[in-house]
Structure 1
Amino acid sequence: MDFERFQYLLGQYKKRQLSGAEREELLALTDNASEEQWKVLVTRLLQTTQWQPASLDKEFLDKELLSVLSADKIQVGEKPDRIPLGASPSLSIGWRWIAAASIFLLFTVSAFFWLQQRRQAMLAVSPTLSANMPPGHKGAILTLADGSQLVLDSLNNGMIATQKGTHVILNNGQLLYKTQQTSEVSYNTVTTPNGRQYTVILSDGSRVWLNAGSSLKYPTTFSDNERIVELSGEAYFEVTKVMSKHTAGKIPFIVKTASQQVLVLGTSFNINAYSNEAVVKTTLLEGMVRVAAAGSSPAAVTLKPGQQAVVIAPAMKIDPAVIKVIDHPDIDQVIAWKNGAFNFEDLPLPEAMRQLERWYDIRVIYENGVPDIRFFGGVDRNMNLGDLLEMLAKAGLKYRMEGGRKLVVINNTKN
């Protein structure tokens, strides 16, 4: 059989451009071809198509072609008896059936490989996200009093700004403030986007560690009456005791959030006040703090070391505000983020996933609802996302990554 001629006629047939004479020619070629010739012919057709991979499974090809030819042998009205794979179909099948079999095999098999290659090509250029993402790191955005912003990740050590007599200094991933006697008060804001954390040393020497997705607004120099900062998100504080020059008493340190106010008298504590959490938690490690609900609510509690105040967040719209005191919170879990770790001990899945969202700058969505999974223990926060997800998968988490930095958590238990 003239392969090139047959390939041309088959192409014309596919394009519906076959003339009457060419139709008769194709009929003659197909009627005179043996089964073996057809297998060779279709194999050559597959090898010449642009979608064909480097190699083709001969067993697959033989099986598929034989099944098509065998099926065509069954006459109308007959029951389709089982045909062994080794059986040879009759060679008297009409050319239309043979052409249909060859075209079927050619275009279905080649289309399959074409779709596979197209899918791989699309994945190569699409924004589909690999789960092997790096963890967050030190970094923040500093907004100065005049509204200008500095990306601290990209700056070298040294003085980076001067504001009304106050020097702003960057030193190995920490932001420091050096004030002069004549310094005027102005306000700065440090913001840590998702995937960043940072440490700020305030003008009084107090240290603040900001978790990812947080911000702290503070004066560049404090007055002699009070020290007030405003927090959104989560931060760990080590507040320096400062004595007033006028009253001989301690200058109070106050942390304001959207739902509470914490009065500090020299202490170490952690505040978790993310807007997408149902409660605000203030956990005292050393010293003493007084937690008061925001607004006109009279609710207030004084914490001792090792206690935690839980305030219902404004989103819950409970009035008057409710403050609950927890006597023995898991301190290791509370400050795990500051110590470079995740502590998922008995955490509800959504709470654990929100931690991942902030640290890896991803978005978590749930397919078929939230699965009933709780994790136990802790892991290093400096590992890649992919490695962490593999560990969580062993605890029952099912997931997939999608473009747009999206982690899809799959619930297979929902009916």
Structure 2
Amino acid sequence: MRVIGLISGTSADGIDAALVEISGQGYRLSWEFLGGLMLPYSPDVRSHILSVASGQPLSIAELAELDDAIAHAFANAAQQLQSQYGFADLIASHGQTVFHRPPQDSQLGYSLQLGRGEVIAALSQLPTVSNFRQADLAVGGHGAPLVPPVDACLLSHPDRSRCVQNIGGIGNVAYLPGGSADEVSLPPVLGWDTGPGNSLLDIAVQILSGGQLTYDQDGAWAAQGTPCELLVRQWLAHPFFQILPPKSTGRELFGWAYLEDCRHDAQDHGLSDADFLATLTEFTAASIADNYRRFLPALPDEVLLCGGGSRNLLLRRRLEAHLDPIPVITTDAAGVPADFKEAIALAVLGFWRWQGVSGNLPAVTGARRSQLLGDIHLGNVPQPSLNSLY
């Protein structure tokens, strides 16, 4: 079955799209990455997404307009991907997260992803799975992270334990003990959100550059500065880092307001712009390593990075320093393209939903039970025979 995975992370840079050939049953999969692309949002759409994600109010009519614009952008990404790499049987769309509230006490969590699956299905004329987080949230889970069970299928090693660390806007980890998945079960996987990934760095770069830059390429700007270790220790005292997994977070916590607090701290210490970026980079790397030491049963044999932050050379070097002598590489070295790993994972989640396979891991999300993840939208297409898609 040829499945398109579509996702835009909390950085809202644009849409990652991957076409994947998948076969097999349950958790025992064969797969091939056929191609991928990244389609940037228009400046207007990205600006609106970031405004909403930072808590700016908007009317229901404005929300509907943004929802439609994102759905059209996702459908366009699927169309462009097929024009380059051939047909697909199914689309799996994560959509664009604009709000995430973890569960607390007796209150269920809530997470809002824009980009309506039914619109994508109608525009693409392909069955589309969307709303992957909702079923897990409904049974007490965080709805995040979604990817660890896929990581277990694609990246587990029979003899070595691995941490798969995604560094998008928010960082999340999947801990994979040595072993392999079979058709009906996975190794005892752990996973949770580790805290900020690129979110604080990207916002800071936009502010410091007067809007001319959206990220610090290769960490080059931060590399010119010196991190303030006192501030790193102060920021690591944030209550989020003390919470036991399962846990999740988003820009609601590590976004504009938090960055402003960090900026005031940096000004109080007389940091230059480069020093501030160096300190934020060090904070991100230190927070990941701190999570591992606090919450893992043992440190992994190796760490595999993916997401945009995996291309930040300074961030990678600092994480290597914090975890030395553990090797820190990218998922490319393990056969999964780091730039498209999350989109590939969405394709697998969509495949599982089509097969009727549970996609969440209660041990990771905190849900009370396993759930089918995602709503299926057929659009104007008659439902294909399952046998014809394998």
Q: Of Structure 1 and Structure 2, which has the larger fraction of its residues in strand? A: 1
Same fold (TM over 0.5): no
Q: What is the TM-score of this pair, normalised by structure 1?
A: 0.24
Q: What is the TM-score of this pair, normalised by structure 2?
A: 0.25
Which of 1 and 2 has higher RCO (CA within 8 Å, sep 6+)? Answer: 2
